[in-house]
Structure 1
């Protein structure tokens, strides 16, 4: 794994923020767009702020006005990708969906998994971003934050669907489901020879079993 180099304490106190002025926003978005292109073409090792500046037609001081280093770029790209993935999941997660009979729920989970997988592949540098945030230990917090947030949101829907279920069990089951789904998606990116349909069916069986454990 690639270690993110430590920053001076003065830098650690700063946060990357989205600029408010239109021109600054355009520059900010252009930097991220080019960073995604470079990441997709050259990988994590080939992504450098100098190359991003050259491609974007910007000077390094302009980039550093918004991002400390390439890891800041990856952090924002990672958040955006996972936000897009999470929106798909939360559009699917309703009490009615979760209360479906096991077979129907399994088909629904399989379709959801395929949708998130396709979104990630179609997203600019989506697969490369997924790999990058996993490869840099200091960025694991981005993934963990997203997974915990989604598990909590899904737990709320599950609790509404199955009010008699113990809250601690609901929280544990939803966290397991989220972890399984994202781990399997990452596996498919790393091992493209794996059959997507069979992997999705395996996930569907896991989720159906977890939900069955919550039913009255």
Structure 2
């Protein structure tokens, strides 16, 4: 995982923790209102009632802010995924598995839209080349965790195939979610059904 300590200083004292969280809270608000280009450390300081030196004690620039916000959002999304991913879930009959995937996709979408600046954070980490590693790290981590569950569900499956299939599933899910944010006119239910068909086909390829 990315070592955030190299870029930011996570405080230990209560008052410093409160300041740290306040900075992130305001940064998310500014991002949601003004977008990536409108997010500046000076504006965050003004909104939070802090001086720039106080902010720079914890974050070097706005990209440090976005990195922490991105990690937190994807951690929340990944917790939902890993709460779903069990051997029993994956061994369900295809139709039941498809319904389960559709419900999971809807849940992650709902979480992201309800998360403070969730959609804006998703767009920002995708738009900034320096932050692509945040997304890639999350996807690889979840694919590895899901592969472990798949291997438990289907122990006869070749590990390299399991790893490839789970990585494809993760990439498809997040890409489709991003597409829905960029193209809100797309029918969520049909997009989710498309993802469900892909995941069912990938899992079927692992069944004995």
User: Under a length normalisation based on structure 1, what TM-score does the superposition of the two structures give?
Assistant: 0.94
Distance change (3 Å), C-alpha of 1:24 and 1:206: same
Deviation at residue 90 of structure 1 after TM alignment: 0.1
Which runs of no fewer than 5 residues in structure 2 stay unpaired? none
Which runs of no fewer than 5 residues in structure 1 stay unpaired? 1-8
Deviation at residue 152 of structure 1 after TM alignment: 0.1
Distance 2:30 2:20 in 1: 16
Deviation at residue 88 of structure 1 after TM alignment: 0.1
Distance 1:148 1:63 in 2: 31
Which residue in the other structure is 1:50 paired with?
A: 42
Distance change (3 Å), C-alpha of 1:107 and 1:11: closer
Deviation at residue 17 of structure 1 after TM alignment: 3.0
Please give the secondary structure, in 2, of the residue aligned with 1:10: coil
Please give the secondary structure, in 2, of the residue aligned with 1:13: helix
Distance 2:119 2:207 in 1: 35
Q: Any idea what the Cα deviations from partners look like across 1:59-106, whole Å, max 9, x if unmatched?
A: 000000000000000000000000000000000000000000000000
Deviation at residue 14 of structure 1 after TM alignment: 3.8
Please give the secondary structure, in 1, of the residue aligned with 2:6: coil
Distance change (3 Å), C-alpha of 1:99 and 1:14: closer
Distance 2:4 2:67 in 1: 14
Compute the RMSD of aligned alpha carbons: 2.3
Distance 2:188 2:88 in 1: 27
- Within a 5 Å distance, the mapping from 1:80-95 to structure 2 comes to 80-95=72-87
Which residue in the other structure is 1:210 paired with?
A: 202
Q: Any idea what the Cα deviations from partners look like across 1:136-192, whole Å, max 9, x if unmatched?
A: 001000000000000000000000000000000000000000000000000000000
User: Under a length normalisation based on structure 2, what TM-score does the superposition of the two structures give?
Assistant: 0.97
Q: Any idea what the Cα deviations from partners look like across 1:114-152, whole Å, max 9, x if unmatched?
A: 000000000000000000000000100000000000000
Matching of residue 161 in structure 1 with residue 161 in structure 2: no
